[in-house]
Amino acid sequence: MLDTSGTFIWIAGFAMLAAIVNALGIFAIVKYRKWAEKSKTYFMCFAAGLLISTPLMLALPQALQKNPYAGFMAAAGFLFMVFSNKIIRYHASRDSVAFGIVVAEGIGIHSFVDGVIYAVTFSVSILTGFLSATGLVVHEFAEGVITYLVFMEAGVSKKTAIFYALLIASFTTPLGAFLAYPFIGELSQSGLGLMLGFMAGVLIYISASHLLPQAIGEKKSHSITAFLSGVGLAVFIVLSRLLT
């Protein structure tokens, strides 16, 4: 069984923080649209740096220590994200409200998976959870901005866009964390290794195929600096832990 006195507090704290940061992104795009659209690129690049470094340097090696087949699960996690996103894009139509609905479903699933990642990574170690969760929390700001804009593009009113963005993007992350935690507690160390491997593949996909290309594609100045700052922070924290 997991240490509910410590692990659950970390999971719950970061899950709620993610919801708050996502809500701040929605508030920012509503009140300060120009600043929010400019700033989301840097949030995404910094998060991408953290989220590409953490699974490669920490999460995946830990998973392989617990189960030698964790690498196969990492590939499965990556492919799961690839094909689920392909299905969402295939069904999305920019000519109708269906675009907003289908993309919203994708964002909701993505946010729910974020919560599951918190439950898994913190259950392995506080360091793994902290680095993974920090990158995910940072990217929640940009996700809040994007979710609101998706609903506005679908033609709904401003108030309706705010409500659905909060419901789909903000509240689903804590929901995923709280629902997953009891099941994670029942896993053996070998099973936890497989689950961590799967989540490492998901994290690599989110960073390499979602956050970074979208952020760099906007050609903002200093976007690479923000990305390298995220990588540098992850390297510094991991090395500090390994060398002590």
Q: Could you give the number of structural domains in the chain?
A: 1
Stretch among 42-51, 55-64, 157-166, 212-221 having the lowest mean pLDDT: 212-221
Domain annotation covers residue 1: no
What pLDDT does 1 receive?
45
Q: Is residue 2 part of a domain?
A: no
**Helix (H), strand (E) at residue 145:** helix 126-153
Q: In this structure, is residue 65 part of a structural domain?
A: yes
In which domain, by residue range, is 222 found?
7-242
Please indicate, yes or no, if residue 73 is contained in any of the structural domains.
yes
CB 75 within 8 A of CB 176: no
Query: What percent of the chain clears pLDDT 90, i.e. is strictly above it?
Result: 28
Residue 40's pLDDT band, with cuts at 50, 70 and 90, is confident
Looking at every residue in the chain, the average pLDDT score rounds to 84
Best CA proximity match to 138, nearest among 42, 36, 32, 8: 42
Range name among 67-71, 104-108, 193-197 with the lowest pLDDT average: 104-108
Whole-number pLDDT of residue 65 = 92
Kindly report, residue by residue over 73-105, the tens digit of the pLDDT: 999 999 988 887 777 666 655 545 555 565 667
Q: pLDDT confidence of 187, banded at 50, 70, 90?
A: confident
For 18, 61, 119, 214, 220, the CA distances from 75, given in Å and listed in that order, are: 26, 14, 20, 22, 31
For residues 205-209, give the mean pLDDT: 83
- Whether 84 is in a domain gets the answer yes
In SS3 terms, 35-86 reads as: HHHHHHHHHHHHHHHHHHHHHHHHHHHHHHHHCCCHHHHHHHHHHHHHHHHH
Hey, how many other C-beta atoms are within 10 angstroms of the C-beta on 80?
16
Nearest-Å Rg of the Cα atoms of the chain is: 17
